[in-house]
């Protein structure tokens, strides 16, 4: 495992302040190259990168604020208990697969579960796809002679992330057991996230880790369209779950793809009041998590690195010029960043040189405010 993959996996254990995990990892990778400190000892490399990023000289600018914020996020990873432990993702997946199956059996799902394969390349004709996992089914077996199963590209395994993907794929496999010749997307993907990633993943891996995973996966600032589509369907599945509980969702899984498509059509045409499903069985941890991800998270609270840096210590009544001088911040970039806190996200009100109001200090944490990777 290389240093960036190591950081990627551990990132699911912390509440990162970055607005986009992918960009964060790209930046970290560039800094490691730039500082020429990559060594065989991963933890030593991460620690040296933090030192390199924290190296202060001259006034704080957007660029150096970004380095400090990235160093803070890396520090959280290093300061974690057992932070030095490199996770064997293959071993982790195999063990979690058994736990997932046990939980599913308790909910009355019993199918002939497919095998997990760890491969260098996916079987043809999927060998050129850039996915991290692929789950050929019965139809692929008939058409292309591929053994049905969960195929994971070895070079794309990431601790935790791969586990949530596996949980998602298992639900597809259960649904496909009744309708293998019909591709399931849309609401089915939302259900796979809800029952797989959230219910199974939450119970086996942990709801906090699941919360971080979904935040990074679906609530990035400037999310790509592909992730947005998954989020849309996750919201749709969540809405059905909050209304009908797992009794309704499990009923749909057991009835298969045609039934799911029918309900999806009713939702999309606005006639969801006509949907009739069994009702009952909510899980409090799931409720908390899905509400947080789909309804509560202020995903647009994102500012530039210097604005995020300054937000950490800015108080009502402060003088803008004083803040800049005391904290050795570049004057023009600093003033602009404070203005940004007002004009872009309206967290402060500036009157002349004085901060007349600051929303940030009324909230227990400024964790909700994330920094953009510029
Ligand atoms: Zn899917």
| pLDDT at residue 361 is higher than 90 | no
In the chain, pLDDT over 70 holds for what percent of residues?
Answer: 98
Ligand 1 centroid to 161 CA: how many Å? Answer: 14
Confidence class of residue 181 from pLDDT cuts 50, 70 and 90?
A: low
pLDDT grade for 108, boundaries at 50, 70 and 90: very high
Around Cβ 366, how many Cβ atoms within 10 Å? 18
User: Tell me, what's the pLDDT at 11?
Assistant: 96
- For 117, half-sphere exposure in the C-beta direction (CA atoms, 13 angstrom radius) is 15
What is the model's pLDDT at position 35? 82
pLDDT the model gives residue 364: 66
Give the model confidence (pLDDT) of 312-353 as tens digits. Answer: 888 899 999 999 999 999 999 999 999 999 999 999 999 999
Q: How far is the CA of 137 from the centre of ligand 1 (A)?
A: 13
Q: With a cut of 90, say whether residue 177 has pLDDT above it.
A: no
Residue with tokens 């400090």, as numbered in its chain: 68
Lowest-confidence region among 4-18, 155-169, 349-363: 349-363
Query: Which pLDDT belongs to residue 138?
Result: 83
What distance in angstroms lies between residue 87's CA and the mean position of ligand 1's atoms? 25
From ligand 1's centre to the CA of 166, what distance in Å? 10
Question: From ligand 1's centre to the CA of 228, what distance in Å?
Answer: 13
By C-alpha distance, which of 133, 160, 246 is closest to 195? 246
Residue 367 pLDDT > 70: yes
| Domain positions in the chain | 3-78, 89-296, 302-371
Query: What's the 176 CA to ligand 1 centre distance in angstroms?
Result: 11
Residue 101 Cα to ligand 1 middle (Å): 18
Tokens of 365: 């944490």
The Cα 325–Cα 311 span in angstroms is: 15
Ligand 1 center from residue 5 Cα (angstroms)? 23
Q: pTM of the predicted model, to two decimals?
A: 0.93
User: What CA–CA distance (Å, rounded) separates 200 from 205?
Assistant: 8
Instruction: Answer whether residue 95 shows pLDDT above 70.
Output: yes
Which CATH number is 302-371 given?
A: 1.10.10
| 206-260 pLDDT tens trace | 999 999 999 999 999 988 898 899 999 999 999 999 999 999 999 999 999 999 9
Instruction: State the distance from the centre of ligand 1 to the C-alpha of 249, rounded, in angstroms.
Output: 16
Answer for the pair 52, 343: CB distance below 8 angstroms, yes or no.
no
What local confidence, expressed as pLDDT, does residue 313 receive? 86
Report the separation in Å between the CA atom of 169 and the middle of ligand 1, taken as the mean of its atom positions.
6
Tell me which residue has tokens 């937000």.
311
Distance 180 CA to ligand 1 centre (A): 14
- Using an 8 Å Cβ cutoff, are 194 and 234 in contact? yes
pLDDT given at position 130: 85
Confidence (pLDDT) at 178: 80
Report how far ligand 1's centroid is from the alpha carbon of 298 (Å).
Answer: 26
Q: Please tell me the predicted confidence (pLDDT) of residue 56.
A: 77
Q: Could you tell me which residues come within 8 angstroms of residue 9 by beta carbon, excluding any fewer than 6 positions away? A: 87, 89, 158, 159, 160, 161
Higher pLDDT, 223 or 309: 309
Q: Which residue reads 């996966």 in tokens? A: 217
Radius of gyration over every alpha carbon of the chain, rounded to an integer in angstroms: 23
Distance, CA 11 to ligand 1 centroid (Å)? 23
Q: What is the pLDDT of residue 200?
A: 98
CA 193 to ligand 1 center in whole angstroms: 8
Q: Is the pLDDT of residue 8 over 80?
A: yes
Mean pLDDT in residue range 179-197: 89
**Mean per-residue pLDDT of the chain:** 92
CA of 168 to the centre of ligand 1 (A): 6
Provide the 8-state DSSP code for 329: B
- The conformation of residue 156, written as its DSSP 8-state character, comes to G
Q: What is the mean pLDDT of residues 278-300?
A: 96
CA distances from 212 to 130, 146, 216, 219 (A): 24, 34, 6, 10
pLDDT score for 42: 87
CA 274–ligand 1 middle distance (angstroms)? 26
Query: What are 15-70's pLDDT values in tens digits?
Result: 999 999 999 999 999 999 888 776 778 888 999 999 999 987 899 999 999 999 99
Which CA distances in Å does 60 have to 22, 112, 197, 241, 306? 25, 59, 41, 48, 8
Q: How many other C-beta atoms can be found within 10 angstroms of the C-beta atom of residue 42?
A: 19
Which residues keep their CB under 5 angstroms from ion ligand 1? 189, 192
């Amino acid at each position: 495992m290389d240093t960036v993959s190591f950081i990627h996996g551990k990132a699911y254990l912390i509440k990162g302040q970055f607005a986009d995990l992918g960009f964060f990892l790209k930046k970290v990778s560039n800094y490691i190259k730039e500082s020429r400190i990559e060594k065989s000892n991963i933890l030593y490399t991460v620690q040296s990168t933090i030192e390199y990023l924290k190296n202060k000289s001259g006034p704080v600018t957007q660029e150096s604020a970004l380095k400090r914020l990235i160093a803070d996020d890396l520090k959280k990873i290093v300061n974690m208990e057992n932070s030095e432990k490199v996770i064997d993702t293959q071993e982790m997946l195999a063990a979690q697969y058994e736990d997932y199956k046990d939980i599913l059996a308790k909910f009355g799902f019993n199918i002939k579960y497919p095998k997990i394969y760890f491969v260098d390349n996916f079987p043809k004709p999927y060998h050129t796809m850039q996915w991290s996992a692929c789950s050929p089914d019965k139809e692929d077996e008939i058409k292309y002679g591929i053994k049905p199963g969960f195929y994971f590209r070895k070079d794309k395994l990431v601790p935790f992330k791969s586990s949530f993907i596996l949980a998602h794929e298992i639900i597809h496999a259960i649904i496909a057991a009744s309708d293998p010749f019909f591709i399931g997307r849309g609401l089915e993907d939302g259900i796979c996230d809800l029952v797989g990633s959230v219910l199974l993943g939450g119970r086996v891996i942990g709801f906090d880790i699941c919360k971080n995973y979904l935040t990074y996966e679906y609530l990035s600032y400037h999310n790509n369209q592909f992730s947005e589509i998954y989020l849309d369907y996750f919201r749709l599945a969540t809405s059905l779950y909050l209304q009908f509980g797992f009794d309704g969702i499990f009923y749909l899984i057991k009835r298969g793809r045609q039934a799911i498509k029918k309900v999806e059509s009713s939702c999309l045409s606005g006639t969801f009041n006509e949907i009739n499903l069994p009702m009952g069985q909510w899980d409090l941890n799931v409720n908390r998590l899905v509400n947080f991800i789909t309804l509560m998270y202020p995903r647009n609270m994102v500012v530039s690195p210097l604005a995020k840096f300054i937000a950490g210590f800015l108080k009502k009544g402060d003088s803008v010029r004083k803040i800049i001088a005391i904290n050795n911040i570049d004057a023009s970039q600093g003033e602009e960043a404070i203005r940004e806190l007002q004009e872009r996200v309206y967290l402060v009100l500036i009157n002349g040189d004085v901060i007349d109001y600051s929303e940030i200090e009324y909230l227990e944490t400024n964790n909700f405010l994330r920094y953009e990777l510029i």
